[in-house]
Structure formats: C-alpha cells, structure tokens
Structure 1
Amino acid sequence: MSKFSTRMIVTLSVLVALQVVLTRFCSFNAWNVRIGLGFTALVIAAIFYGPVAAAIVGGLGDFIGSIAFPTGSYFPGFTLTQVLMGLVFGFALYRKYYNAPLFSFGSTQNQTEGTTLTGNTMTQIIRIVIAVLINQCIFSLLLNTLWISVLYGSSFTGLLSTRALQAAVTAPIQIIIISVLQGILKRADIRSLLAV
C-alpha cells in the first residue's frame, strides 16, 4: 500500500461499515464467545491493500461498532486485537505477497497463477492456514481471553476452555471462507470492478 487515494479511502470506509454490520448483527454472541463473519472485511482489505489497511479496518470497525452498538463497556484491548489480526491477514494475504514462496528449499521457479494444488495454490493455502491459526490461537483465544478476564474479573483458565471450543469451531470455517473469497477476489473482472 503506497498511498491513500480517494477511491481507497471510500473502499476502506465501506469495509469498516461491513465489519461493524457483520460483527454486531450477523454473529452469534454470548458474554465471552462471538462467532461471526466480521473477519471477511479484514480479509478483503488485506488482499487488496495489505497489512496497514487491514489493521485500520479492524481497529476502526471495532471502535465504531463498540461505540455505536455497545454490547458492554468499551475496552481498548479488543481494538488492539483487531488491529493485530488485520496485520496478520495483511502479511499473509496481500496480493503483492501471496505468489511469493513461503519457505524456500533450494531452487525456486516462477509459476503462473493457474496452477493446481501445487506451487502457488499450495503456498496460498498454507498462508491462509497459518494466518487463521495465529489469529485464532494467539489473538482470539489467548489475548481476548485475557481481556475478558481483566474486564470481568473472571478466571483466565476457566474462560479458556469455553473459548477454546470457539477457536476450534471458527478456525476451519475461516480457512474455507478465506480460500473461497481469495479465489473470487483474484479474478480480473472483480479487481477491475473495484478498481484495485
């Protein structure tokens, strides 16, 4: 992401609004568990604009959603978590990076975008899996559980078991949705429609 154009600011604003709507109105919420589709706005920002844009969408989406549609008191730790998740998705999924080899073992060859489950496609799947596991295991499970325990004075280890179930359910769903979404957003007609 080199600079913020007017079109990019408008697109990111729409993605922030999308994250607010999907997180606040299209997700299952209990007091310490949330399963929803709010992450898709971060993923779209990450694919098209990179880590900084995805972090901005995550941070602003959480802040605006917490202020406009509160489900409890605002806590900045959750906003920090969304920013970090956006950064991880950005580094893993940004279109500038997703054709680069994740690890290099000897010689590397340039591959075209139409490969099967080898080369580029396998690298992209590995990137998606790693990003989702980092976000679910470190940020959602550990960091958000810490924030909940601080906010409500609950036992960290007691909360961990119920939130571990959330991470186990959410991770495979996110991997599938991101894989499909990335395939759709790589199409030239979609990119030209969105002018990215």
Structure 2
Amino acid sequence: MSRFQSKTLCRVGILAAMYVPLALFVGIQFGNVRLSFGSLPVVVGALLYGPLEAALVALVGELLKQLLTYGLTATTVLYLIPPMLRGLVIGAGAVWMWRRGKRLENCRTRCFAVCILAAVCTTIGNTLVNWLDSVLYGYYTFAYVFGDAVYRFGVGMLNAVVVATVAIPLVVLLRRQRVVQEVKRP
C-alpha cells in the first residue's frame, strides 16, 4: 500500500470514528426526525478532501451506526446511500470551487447553499430508502412514508445550516493551523 493510500485510509478511519458518537449521542430528537451532528465529519471531509473521501467517511460511519442501532438487515446497505450523497454533493461543490482557485468554505453563501442542497438530496434519498424498506417489509402506508416529508425536509435543511455553521470555521482553523495536510487537487 502506498503512503498516499495509507494516509487516506487513516483520514477516513478517524472521521468515520467521529461520525458514530456524533450521530448517536449528540443531537436533539424532533418526533421521528433527529437533528444531529453525525454529518459533521462528512462535511469536514468533503471540504478538506473532496467527494470520494467524504463518501467513504459516510459509508463507514453510517455502516457502523446502522450495525450498532439496528443490526444487519436486508436493507442496511440501502441506508448507507443517503449519507454518502451528502458527501458526494458537498465534495463536488468543493472540487468545483478548487478548480476556480477558491475554497468552498471561504465562500460562505455558496458553502451554505451547497450544504442545504446536499441535505435536500440526503432527505430525498432517505425518503426513497424508507419507501423501499416499507414495501419490502410490508408496512407501507403513504402517510407513514410521505406524511411528514415537508417536516423532514425542513429539519434536514436546518441541520445542514447548523452543521455548516460549525464546519466552516473548523475547516478554516484546521487549514490555518496546518493540522491537515493539503491534498493535490485535480
């Protein structure tokens, strides 16, 4: 394994390890929707390292969370997709800005917009996965799957704003203190 791959694996492992306790223990429950900081490592990974590493952080972190919370089910893999979407969307926004010679976290309005877009994509993904899960396990009702969709979109966007509010200064501080090593950009 090359040195680059080892560093990547370590970065993903550290951020994924942070994902689990932040997702499980740091948050506020609103009915059946949770406002949590689980996506913070994904957002930080996306801003610092791009879409692939952020998607890997989400994949590993959400897999561990799913296994600890629900165990292994037929639809466990499906529930990994929505958090990965968040990492891919924010990471793609970061790459888009890198190619223009800027950093997404330094363009705060764009960063918030990209994070909100990622939250919308994540909520759509979660809704589709919930629908598929309900159909496969035979508990589908329209009200159960789609009845609180507007509410879930609102909480998801609020969560994105809160997490971005924490992530932006954190990423700026990590870069300024040279805690993170710059990765070669495409």
- TM class, shorter-length: 0.7 to 0.9
The structure with higher relative contact order (CA 8 Å, sep 6+) is 2
Tell me the CA shift for residue 46 of structure 1.
0.5
Name the larger-Rg structure: 1
SS at match of 2:24: helix
Structure with the largest fraction of helix: 2
2:7 matched to which residue of 1?
7
Q: How many aligned positions are there?
A: 173
Q: Tell me which of 136, 159, 177 is aligned to 2:119.
A: 136
Map Cα deviations across residues 40-75 of structure 1 (whole Å, 9 max, x no partner): 010111011100000111111111221233278452
Q: Could you say what secondary structure the match of 2:148 adopts?
A: helix
Query: What is residue 172 of structure 2 aligned with on the other side?
Result: 186
Query: Structure 2 regions of 5+ residues with no counterpart?
Result: none
**Cα distance, 1:137–1:195 mapped onto 2, change above 3 Å:** closer
Q: 1:174 to 1:99 in 2, by over 3 A?
A: farther
- 2:147 aligned with 1:164: no
Q: 1:193 to 1:124 in 2, by over 3 A?
A: same
Root mean square deviation of aligned Cα? 3.1
Under a length normalisation based on structure 2, what TM-score does the superposition of the two structures give?
0.75
Per-residue CA deviations over 1:124-146 (Å, capped at 9, x if unaligned) read 412431x2333332331x22122
Contact in 2 for aligned 1:26/1:37 (Cα 8 Å): yes
Counterpart-to-counterpart distance in 2, 1:146 and 1:29 = 21
SS at match of 2:70: coil
5+ unaligned residues in a row in structure 1: which ranges?
101-109, 114-119
SS at match of 1:87: helix
Say whether the 8 Å CA contact 2:45–2:53 is kept in structure 1: yes
Which residue of structure 2 aligns with residue 126 of structure 1? 110
* Superposed displacement of residue 176, structure 1: 4.3
